[in-house]
Chains A and B, each alone.
Chain A
Amino acid sequence: MSNLLLKVENLSIAFGGLKAVDDLSFEMNHGEVYGIIGPNGAGKTTAFNCITQFYKPDAGKIIFDSKEDGMINLVGHKPHQVIGRGLVRTFQNVELIASLSVIDNLLVGAHIAFKSTLPEQVFRLPRARREEKQLRARAMEVLEMLGLTHIAHMPATMQPYGHQKKLELGRTLMMSPKLIILDEPAAGLNEVETVGLIEIVQRVTKELNCGILLIEHDMNFVSKLCNRICAISFGKRLAIGTPDEIKAHPDVQEAYLGKSDKESGGGEANG
Chain B
Amino acid sequence: MNKVFGKIGKTQPYFGFLVFGAILSFAPVLMNNTQWFLFAWLTIFAGFIVYAIAGLGMNILMGYGGLASLGTAGFMGLGAYLTMVLTVDAGFSFFPVLFLTILATTILGIVVGLVSLRVEGFFLAIATLVIAEMLRQVFQQMPLLGGHAGRSMPAFPTISLFGILEWTLNRNQTYIMLVIFLVIAMFITQLLFKSATGRALSAMRGSESAAAAMGISIFRGRLLAFALASGFAGAAGSLFMFFMPFTNPNHWNLVLSLFIFAVVVIGGVRSVAGTVLGAFIVFAVPQLFIARLPVIGDISGMDFVFTGVLIIIVVLFYPAGLIWMPAGIKNSITKLIKRKKGGETT
Which A residues are closer than 8 A to B by beta carbons?
A: 52, 54, 78-84, 88-89, 91, 95-101, 103-104, 107-109, 111-112, 114, 116, 118, 121-124, 128, 131-132, 150-151, 153-155, 158, 171, 175
Decide: A104 near B199, CB < 8 A? Known: A52-B213, A79-B213, A80-B216.
Answer: yes
Chain A residues, Cβ within 8 Å of B191: 121-124
Q: Is the CB of A97 within 8 A of B207?
A: yes
Q: Is the CB of B213 within 8 A of A104?
A: no
Q: Is the CB of A88 within 8 A of B213?
A: yes
For the complex formed, measure the closest distance between the CB of A77 and the CB atoms of chain B, giving whole angstroms.
Answer: 11
Decide: A99 near B213, CB < 8 A? Known: A122-B195, A124-B191.
Answer: no
Nearest-neighbor residue (CB-CB) of A95 within chain B: B210
In the bound complex, CA of A100 to CA of B205 (Å): 11
Chain B residues, Cβ within 8 Å of A91: 209-210, 213
Instruction: Determine the main DSSP class of B at the interface with A.
Output: helix
Q: What is the interface size of chain B, counting residues whose CB is below 8 A from a CB of the partner?
A: 33
18 pairs of residues in contact across A and B, judged by CB atoms under 8 Å: A79-B209, A82-B215, A83-B214, A83-B215, A96-B206, A96-B210, A97-B202, A99-B202, A100-B206, A103-B9, A108-B202, A108-B210, A111-B199, A111-B203, A112-B214, A123-B191, A150-B1, A153-B8
Task: Tell which of A101, A116, A124, A150 touches B8, judged by Cβ atoms closer than 8 Å.
Answer: A101
Decide: A101 near B195, CB < 8 A? Known: A52-B213, A79-B212, A108-B214.
Answer: no
Chain A residues, Cβ within 8 Å of B217: 78, 80
In the bound complex, CA of A46 to CA of B199 (Å): 28
Nearest-neighbor residue (CB-CB) of B2 within chain A: A154
In the bound complex, CA of A107 to CA of B270 (Å): 19
Residue B284 at the chain A interface, CB threshold 8 Å: no
In the bound complex, CA of A151 to CA of B209 (Å): 25
Within 8 A of A (CB), among B167-216: 188, 191-192, 195-197, 199-200, 202-203, 205-207, 209-216
Residue B341 at the chain A interface, CB threshold 8 Å: no
In the bound complex, CA of A87 to CA of B6 (Å): 34
For the complex formed, measure the closest distance between the CB of B214 and the CB atoms of chain A, giving whole angstroms.
Answer: 5
Chain B residues, Cβ within 8 Å of A97: 202-203, 206-207, 210
Q: Interface digits, B278-297 against A, CB 8 Å rule (1 contact, 0 not)?
A: 00000000000000000000
For the complex formed, measure the closest distance between the CB of A158 and the CB atoms of chain B, giving whole angstroms.
Answer: 5
Which B residues are closer than 8 A to A by beta carbons?
A: 1-2, 5-10, 188, 191-192, 195-197, 199-200, 202-203, 205-207, 209-218, 224, 270
Q: Is the CB of B214 within 8 A of A109?
A: yes
In the bound complex, CA of A153 to CA of B8 (Å): 6
Chain B residues, Cβ within 8 Å of A175: 215
**A-B interface, 5 closest residue pairs, ranked by CB to CB distance from nearest:** A97-B206, A95-B210, A121-B195, A112-B215, A79-B212
Nearest-neighbor residue (CB-CB) of B224 within chain A: A118
For the complex formed, measure the closest distance between the CB of B39 and the CB atoms of chain A, giving whole angstroms.
Answer: 37
Task: Tell which of B2, B9, B209, B214 touches A54, judged by Cβ atoms closer than 8 Å.
Answer: B209
Q: Is the CB of A111 within 8 A of B215?
A: yes
In the bound complex, CA of A116 to CA of B198 (Å): 13
Task: Tell which of B197, B202, B207, B215 touches A118, judged by Cβ atoms closer than 8 Å.
Answer: B197
Task: Tell which of B1, B5, B196, B218 touches A111, judged by Cβ atoms closer than 8 Å.
Answer: B196
Chain B residues, Cβ within 8 Å of A100: 199, 202-203, 206
In the bound complex, CA of A111 to CA of B203 (Å): 10
Q: Is the CB of B215 within 8 A of A99?
A: no
In the bound complex, CA of A132 to CA of B212 (Å): 21
For the complex formed, measure the closest distance between the CB of B127 and the CB atoms of chain A, giving whole angstroms.
Answer: 23
